[in-house]
Amino acid sequence: MKLIHLFVLIATLSLSARSSAAEASVPPVVMEGFQELQKNGTLAAMAVWFAGSARENDEVQDRASAKMTSIQGLFGRVLGYELIRTVLLSASTERVYVAVKFEKGVAWMSFDCYKPETKWIICRFDFGTNANLVLPPNILGGQ
């Protein structure tokens, strides 16, 4: 019996360490945006996610904010997020896939992050409530 408890403890610690290591590889701008989303709402999150990008001051930010506000109206307040996967695309680019947890449902996001010099920026992100439209087939169990 003690052996089973030890195994469960080791497995739990291993999964926890893996999750922490995965989040450590996520560009900070992604996590900072989620912190703002939970504390101060959609506009604050969008300001973080678009900061420093070519889209920082254009209509794309307004459309994205309206879409996120619409999702929140349907699903309720944001409870947090779960990292699905990060994909290293090149030495300076990374794609991050996330599940956004709401009170009444889940939304899916992908972020294309770019580090031209010392600070990460988000060049593009996509989100919606249909996983098939945001996540690639290999994450959804396809080829």
Q: Cβ of 99: how many Cβ atoms within 10 Å?
A: 16
Q: How many domains does the chain have?
A: 1
Q: Which residue has the tokens 């990292």?
A: 83
In the chain, DSSP assigns E strands to 78-90, 93-102, 106-114, 121-128
**Sole residue written with tokens 């506000």:** 69
Q: Is residue 121 part of a domain?
A: yes
Confidence (pLDDT) at 143 = 61
For the chain, which residues score pLDDT lower than 50? Answer: 2-22
Cβ atoms within 10 Å, residue 61: 17
pLDDT value at residue 24: 56
Which CATH number belongs to the domain containing residue 123 in this structure? 3.10.450.50
69 is a domain residue: yes
In a domain, 128, yes or no: yes
Q: Which residue has tokens 């912190």?
A: 35
Per the structure, the complete domain to which residue 62 belongs is given by 26-134
Asked if residue 16 is part of any domain, the answer here is no
List the structure tokens of 47: 């300001």
Q: Round to whole Å and give the CA distance between 46 and 38.
A: 12
Structural domain contains residue 114 = yes
**Is 2 within a domain?**
no
Structural domain includes residue 39: yes
pLDDT at residue 57, as a whole number? 73
Residue 3 lies in a domain: no
What's the whole-number average pLDDT of the chain? 83
What's the confidence (pLDDT) of residue 58? 72
DSSP, res 70: H
